A and B are shown apart, each in its own frame.
Chain A
Amino acid sequence: MNMLKTDIRILHAILVLVILFPLFRPMGLPLTITKPVKDAYDLVESLPKGSIVLHANDVAPSNEAENWCQLLAMVKHNVAKGHRIILVSTVAEGPMYSDRIRREVAEPAGYVYGKDIVVLPYRAGNETAVTALAEDFQGSYRADYYGTPSSQLSLMQEVKSMKDIAMVGCWTSGDLGLWYIRQVEAKYKTPTVTGIVAVGLTLYGPFQASGQLKGLLLGQAGAAEYETLIKSPGKGLAAMDAQSMGHLYMVLLIVIANIFYFQAKRQSAAAAGKGAR
């Protein structure tokens, strides 16, 4: 019964140790590639060289741990396949991460800014902003994130509407993917994949099951699976042993707590029975 009264700080400390151990000593626990991730990979593989890919990058510090490694993995794949990339954001912090994509992934691979990759600024308006972007892409962005007029960016001149985009990737902890499903996939049939934080499974799962999403990356596990497929280990894969151990710890806590809960319940029932006699 005392187990149920354990100081929560002790449980926190054990969780820290359980997560730290595999980060220092990777255990190589098995990782299964799930179908939604393989579908996303296959979609990128199927796009011809030079295709224009739009990444709706709503990565922010709050979801960086899960969405950033997903976006990085897919952009690396796009770059390896020679796809051209446009990055847009509906969160204020998004363009900072888009700028990192340009500096850390695209340009080291020989991408020329304006021709092969464009970083566009934050746009307020949520779903209405996505609708405006889908209908009049150039009208929605008169200049890029750095203030260069869109007329001077050759890649921007090729995109009139969503019909000119070969694939959309949404990286979010919220409803961004739903906005693109409703305003882009439904209206223009542009293949759409989404990378979400793990808690979004039940929100996006039905859209993946119905085929409205052509692929789905779920949390760090989704990123790790994608990194495995493109043979480029990153932070997602590095986190997987710690994820597995953390889950094992949670499962153990749930089982132990239930055992003690039912034991305590039985003891109190027995005590009540004795009292009645």
Chain B
Amino acid sequence: MDLKVLGTWVAAIATLSVYSYLYKENALFRAVEYILVGLTTAHLTVMGYQNVFDVAIKPVMTGTKTLMIVPIILGLLLYTRWSKQYSWVSRIPVSFMIAVAAAVTITGNIDASFMRQVRATMVPIKDFNTFVVVAGTISTLMYFFFMTIPGGSRAEGNKGILVRILSGGGELGRWVMMIAFGATFGSGVMSRIGLFIGRVQFLFGDWLHMIK
């Protein structure tokens, strides 16, 4: 049997086994679940080893990048976590990784995720969309910052004009967030249906050749 055909049959049976869970939890589902976990772990182990070998071990062995010995040693130190006596040593590579990752990402984050996002909300209100952006941003901020101020919207009897504006804005912010959560849920449904359609296309197309 052609290997591609065999692969398609294995994938089809595995797909049906997984979906059998929708009817009832069963042994077939569990078997496929364990096989998936095992295969994924094996694949990641091989790819991870290949990655470390190509990036670090090989350059050290060939003498093209001898400094790569430093990350190799740091990587090996991570395994001291398994020793009660020396587990503290693993904190050195962990702190190194956290520091490097933070340093690398913060530089891009400040500009991309903060400054330019803030700038994108400071736009002239020229149409309905820009109005929604500005009003939505301000009201959501008001919800988080002013809804619980002493004497604020949740304090009975305080009906000052400033309090009314802040509490009204905060209430609008709550609605804006609810709409955003609704959009997230809607796109979540779209995503899940998309995954299911992909499997159906595989089963009835690639496997049974009943649809194009």
Contact = CB atoms under 8 A, between A and B. Distances in A.
Contact of A243 (B54, B116, B190): B190
Contact of A239 (B23, B104, B119, B201): B201
Interface string A248-276: 00100000000000000000000000000
B105 A182 contact: yes
Interface in A163-209: 178, 181-183, 185-187, 197-202, 206-207, 209
Nearest to A236: B194
A212 B112 contact: yes
Nearest to B23: A9
B31 interface: no
Contact of B47 (A19, A122, A206): A122
B204 A23 contact: yes
Given A66-B194, A206-B120, A198 B47 contact: no
A66 B194 CA distance: 7
Contacts of B105: 127-128, 182
Interface string B119-132: 11000000000000
A127 B184 contact: no
Contacts of A108: none
A49 interface: no
Interface stretch (A78-86, A109-117, A152-160, A218-226): A218-226
Contacts of A39: none
Contact of B198 (A65, A178, A181, A187): A65
Interface in B92-139: 100-101, 104-105, 108-109, 111-113, 116-117, 119-120, 133
Contact of B187 (A123, A128, A199, A239): A199
B112 A186 contact: yes
Contacts of A64: 198
B193 A243 contact: yes
B104 A131 contact: yes
Interface string A1-39: 000000001001001100110011000000000000000
- Which bucket holds chain B's interface residue count? 35 or more
B197 A243 contact: yes
Interface residues of A, number: 53
B23 A201 contact: no
Nearest to A246: B193
B211 interface: yes
Contact of A66 (B180, B189, B198): B198
Interface string A100-124: 0000000000000000000001111
B191 A199 contact: yes
Interface of A: 9, 12, 15-16, 19-20, 23-24, 64-66, 92-93, 121-124, 127-128, 131, 142-143, 178, 181-183, 185-187, 197-202, 206-207, 209-212, 218-221, 235, 238-239, 242-243, 246-247, 250
9 contacts: A15-B196, A66-B194, A127-B105, A128-B101, A183-B104, A183-B108, A197-B194, A202-B184, A239-B201
